[in-house]
Structure 1
C-alpha cells in the first residue's frame, strides 16, 4: 500500500472504512475501501469476494462506481488487510440534499430528473445482470459535483438473484428505505425491493426530507401505512401470511401529493408499493416524466 497516500477518512461502508487517497505515481485521487480479514478465516471472506466479483462485472456501466484495483496489505498489528481501489467521487445524494436543506432552496426539477434517470439506469443495469443492490439510500449514491454524473456504490449487501427467487435474509437495508415486503418479513423478494428504495430517494430529492423516517421496524410500518394505507388481502393477496403481519389499523391511503408536493403527475406514478405492481427500473426510464431529459449525455 506504499503506492497510496491516505488523505482522510470519508466514510464507512457496509464492511469497511473508506478513505480518500492519492496514488503517488500519478497524483490521481482515488477512494480506498479497507476491509480487515478475520484471522480465523481461511483466506478472504466470502462477503468481500462476492463484492469484488459483483463490482468487477458491474464496473462496465458508467452509473456504477468503478473498481480500479484490489490490493493486499498489512495494518500496524500485522494483520492482513484488503484494499479495494475505486474511482473517487466528491459527493453523494445525502450531502446534496443536506446542502439544499440548509440553504432553504428546492433542488431544481431538472436536476432531480437528471439524477433519477441516472439512478434508474444504474439499477436497471444491476437487475439486467441478475444483481439486487439491497441497500440503496442517498448515502450510497455518489455524484460528481461539476458534471452531476451519478454512480451507485457500496454493493457490500448485493446478491445475485435467480429464478425461482431464492430465500434471502430480511435483515437488509437501512430502515428508511426498506421495502414494505421486507419489513413484513418476506424472505423471497426480487428487484422490487430496490425500486421501493428508488421511490423513497426520489421523494427525498423533491422534499429534502426522508419520506418514511421510522426509528424502529414497527414505526417504519406505521409511517408507510399512514401515507399509503394499510395493505389487506384485497389489494395484496397473501399479505397476511407474511411473518411480521398483524392486524394493523386500516388507514385510508392519502394523496401522495400531500407528502411530495412539488412533483407533477408523471413523477407521482413512479411511487408504488405493492411488489408485484411496482414498476421496473427499465420501465421507469421509459416514463413520460423523463421525456425532456437529454438522455444522449447520460
Structure 2
C-alpha cells in the first residue's frame, strides 16, 4: 500500500510538472487560452509511449523503430538547400517511401530555428492537404524530419504542362489549396511562403502544403513579423512596402498569384530586378495606391509617392486573358489580388465562392484527413498543353485539345 501511494504521488507530481512545462511560453505563439473559443483551441498531438516499466524484457532481436536513424534507407538525393538536404527514402518499419529532410547541426549555432518551427507546427497539423510529418530523428550531427513522399510539386507540374493548366484541374488544385489554408488559418497559423515549389502534387492529383520553415503561429495581441518573407514574385505589396503588421491576408495574396499562374501559364508578377520593379508590375495592373484606395499606405516605411508611376487599375483579363475563358475566375482572382490587405478574401470564404459552384457538395463535408479524390467522379483530367478548353470546347483561337 505504501509503495502504491508513493507511486501515485510521484505520478501526480509528474503530471503537474508536465502541465506547467507545456503551458510555459505558449502565449508567445498562440492566442492566450482564455481568449480562444473552446472549439478553436489547438491541441498538440503527442505520441503516447507504450513502454511498461513492469514488463519483463525479452531477448528477441529488436525490429526497426520510429525515431531511429537506421529505420530509414536513403535512396537518392532530391535537392539541397542552405541548411538541409532532402532525400528520397524508404521506411524499414513499414516499407513505405518517405522524404528525409536532413538538417545539418553545428555546435556553435545549434538547431536552425526554422527547423524547430517547422517540426513543432507540423506535429499538430493533421490534414489531407498538408504534408504529413511521420517522424523526427535527432542525432548529434543532424536533425531529420521524415515526411510522406510526394513525387512532384506544382512548379514542376506547370513546367511539364506549359501554357496554362486544364481549367478543371486548376479548380481542383485551388480548392485543395484553400482547404489546407483554411485549416491552418483557423488554428492561427500563417504559412508565409506560398509558392508553386511549396505545393506538392501526388500522382493522383492531391495537393499538399509543404515547407513550413517560415510559418508562424499568429498571436494576439499582434506581434510584428519580419517582412523578409515570401519569394518576391508571390510577396504582397504591403510586405514589399515594409509592413510587418499582417495576418492571414498575407497568404491570400500568394493564392491569387498562384491561381493566375495556373490558368495563364506564366507568373502573375515576375519581377526581374528588385522590390521597386516588383511593385511597379503590381501597380501596372491593380493601379498605384492612394489613401483613398488603401487607407494607411502613406504611413508604410517604403512608400514614397514620387517613386512610382501613377497607374490606373485595369480589368484582370487585360493582363491575363485566359481568366476571361473560365466562369467566375476573374472575379475570384480580383478578390485575392487586393493591394489593401483587409480587402482580400479569406480562405474559408473563398471556398464558398461561385467559382466552385459546379463541384459536388460532398467536397465541403469531408473530414480533415479525407482526400477530395475519395468523392466519386473527382479526378484530374489530361492536360491540354497550350490550348484552353472550357467544357470540352475549343478556345477563341480555334485550338483543339489534341496536344498532350
Q: TM-score under structure 1 normalisation? A: 0.92
For 1:240, the equivalent position in structure 2 comes to: 298
Whole-Å separation in 1 of the counterparts to 2:112 and 2:82: 14
Shift of 1:12: 4.0
Deviation at 1:25, TM superposition (A): 4.1
The answer on 1:35 being equivalent to 2:92 is: no
Higher deviation after alignment, 27-36 or 192-201: 27-36
2:319 to 259, 271, 288: 259
> Could you tell me which of 49, 61, 80 is aligned with 2:127?
61
Does residue 187 (structure 1) correspond to residue 236 (structure 2)? The answer is no
Contact 1:14 1:157 in 2 (8 A): no
Distance of 2:235 and 2:331 partners within structure 1:
19
What SS does the corresponding residue of 1:6 show, helix, strand or coil? strand
Aligned residues: 287
- Larger strand percent: 1
Q: Quote the residue 2:152 is aligned against.
A: 91
1:134 aligns with 2:192: yes
Q: Tell me if the contact between 1:118 and 1:150 (Cα under 8 Å) persists in the aligned partners.
A: yes
| SS of alignment partner, residue 136 of structure 1 | coil
Q: Distance in 2 between matches of 1:95 and 1:258?
A: 27
What secondary structure does 1:227 align onto?
helix
Counterpart-to-counterpart distance in 2, 1:224 and 1:67: 36
Could you list the per-position Cα deviations for residues 1-35 of structure 1 after superposition, in whole angstroms to 9, with x for gaps in the alignment? 22222122223467522111112343311001111
1:196 to 253, 256, 266: 253
Query: Aligned pair 1:110/2:168, yes or no?
Result: yes
Aligned-pair distance for 1:131?
0.4
User: CA separation in 2, counterparts of 1:266 and 1:47?
Assistant: 38
CA contact under 8 A between 1:267 and 1:289: conserved in structure 2?
Answer: yes
Structure 1, unmatched stretches of 5+, are: 75-79
* Divergent runs of 4+, >6 A: none
Secondary structure of 1:245's match?
Answer: coil
TM-score (norm 2): 0.68
